[in-house]
Structure formats: C-alpha cells, structure tokens
Amino acid sequence: MKHLGCRMGVFYNGIFWQEYGIREIGYPYELIYIYRYKGIEQLQKYDVLLIPKGVNQEFLYKISNDILTFMKHGGIVISFGEVNKNWFSEASWEPAIKGQQVRIIVRNHPIFMGLSDEDLNSFSKAVHGYFDRIPSGATSLATSQTSPDQILIFQDDYSYAGVILMMTLDPDYHAYEEKDAAKKFLANIIHWAQETSLKTRAKLAEMPNRPTGYETFTRDVRRVFDIRGIAIEIIAGIILAVVLYLVFGIK
C-alpha cells in the first residue's frame, strides 16, 4: 500500500489479530500498548488512531476524553467490533441479532471500492451488534439487510475537526483468517483514512487562528439548523451582523 505520510497508532492489548492485518497490507504503524498508555500527549504524534476489535472497553471508556480531544484537533479515529462500554457517548451500541447481514447504503464511499454486499457477508460472523443511535450529523454507510434502522457502519465528519468511522464489523480479525474480502476492506479503510487525514490537515492549515471551542461552536450551530453544504463561517457572519445591528444600530 502506498504510504501518504500519515502516522497511525494502533491500540493493542496483546491479541494477535489486532496488528496482523495492518502488517500484512504493508502500512507503517506504531502499537499503543494500553497498559503503558501515558495520556493524550502520546496520541498527539498520530494522524490516525485505529481501535481494533477486542481492545479493552474499560480502558477506552477511561480515556474517552482523550479520544474526543484527538478528534477535536483533526485526528481520524477508526473503530472495529463491539462497543459494549459507551466510550463514544454520541452513539449507542446494541448486541447482535443472529444471522445479521450487511447492506451497503453509500456504495460510492471509498471504503467499499471493489466490494459488494456479498463480499462483506462472505466472512462469517462479521457483524458484532449494531448502532441504534449515531451522532445527528453522521452518515449511515451500511445497515442490516432486514432492519435498516440497525446501523452497522457510520462516519461522522460533521461534529468535530476530525473524523470518526465506526463499524460493528471486524475486518482486522477476518484479515487474520486470510479472507480476501476482509483484507481488501481493511486496505480500503486504511487508504481512506490516509486521504481523509491529508484533506483534514490541509483544511485546518487554512484556519490557523480559529478560536478556542471552534469545533463545538460549529457542531452546535449545525445541529440547531441542520444545514449541510453551507459554510459555517457564513452562518456565524450573519449572526454577528444581526447582533451588531441590534446592539449598536449599525445599518
């Protein structure tokens, strides 16, 4: 896989598949041993943070604020598998229903390049629960075939300066099983994360003096008005103009 210069950290608590798939596709990474974790400063050197299936959920819950801070500063977060401890409070995870199958919703998304529903369903027991609630600005990328309200993959590039991609599938584990579709899916995800990180860094570089709390402000305004495709700076400018008019009578 072509390396685009992004630095990726992979949380690791000693389970073999948590790094096997990444190593096999040839992308550089560093393991973040959860029992040696030193705090948010350890995450700051990375552009992409991968949370494989099986990472200790109590640990993730304990450092949930660090993960949010990472995203607020433009970091890309990828999460695989169960979320049985609510470390990302914007989403709610529920246990799997037996026989659950995947339906891709956003078929032109880069993570699905060259893959079909059948491909994602080809590695058995790939789905580990579903999300019954996701962030208000997030996009559902794949759902259960039988229950469209059961979300299996979503992306939130709307609430923070960075992006989070969460899924109940575990391509890392099935890449270890040498499932071709899982390996391709994992490679697509990592490539998408690289490109997304580059775009995010470029966007933030154009805003070096954004005020403290900018991400929270833009997120809250977006949620109130639920307007997509309109630059938040324009909305803020209109609000400021109205305030000036009301307070100072500026015409």
Q: Using one digit for the tens of pLDDT, what is the confidence trace for 152-163?
A: 999 999 999 999
What's the CATH fold of domain 8-204? Rossmann fold (3.40.50)
In this prediction, residue 101 carries a pLDDT of 86
In this prediction, residue 124 carries a pLDDT of 57
Q: How confident is the model at residue 17 (pLDDT cuts 50, 70, 90)?
A: confident
E-strand ranges in the chain read 8-12, 30-33, 48-51, 76-79, 92-94, 102-104, 130-133, 139-144, 151-156, 163-167
Interatomic CA distance for residues 118 and 127, integer angstroms: 13
In this prediction, residue 214 carries a pLDDT of 42
Closest to 88 in 3D by CA, of 110, 114, 60: 60
Count of helix runs (H) and strand runs (E) in the chain:
9, 10
Mean pLDDT of the chain: 84
Scored b (16 or more CB within 10 A) or e, 25-63 reads bebebeebebeeeeeeeebeebbbbbbbbbbebebbbeb
Does residue 179 surpass a pLDDT of 50? yes
In this prediction, residue 71 carries a pLDDT of 96
This prediction's pTM: 0.80
Closest to 177 in 3D by CA, of 42, 20, 9, 62: 20
In this prediction, residue 141 carries a pLDDT of 98
Q: How confident is the model at residue 26 (pLDDT cuts 50, 70, 90)?
A: confident
pLDDT in tens, 51-97: 998 899 999 999 999 999 999 999 999 999 899 899 999 999 998 76
In this prediction, residue 227 carries a pLDDT of 45
Q: How many CB atoms sit inside 10 A of residue 11's CB?
A: 22
Interatomic CA distance for residues 114 and 102, integer angstroms: 15
Q: Which of 46-50, 174-178, 207-211, 247-251 is most confident?
A: 46-50
In this prediction, residue 189 carries a pLDDT of 95
Interatomic CA distance for residues 171 and 213, integer angstroms: 35
pLDDT in tens, 216-246: 444 444 444 444 445 566 777 787 777 667 7
In this prediction, residue 192 carries a pLDDT of 96
pLDDT in tens, 41-56: 999 999 999 999 889 9
- Least confident segment among 5-19, 58-72, 76-90, 180-194: 5-19
Ordered by start, the domain boundaries in the chain are: 8-204, 214-248
More confident residue, 26 or 104: 104
pLDDT in tens, 91-147: 999 987 666 789 999 999 999 999 999 999 887 566 888 999 999 999 999 999 888
In this prediction, residue 224 carries a pLDDT of 44
Q: How confident is the model at residue 209 (pLDDT cuts 50, 70, 90)?
A: low
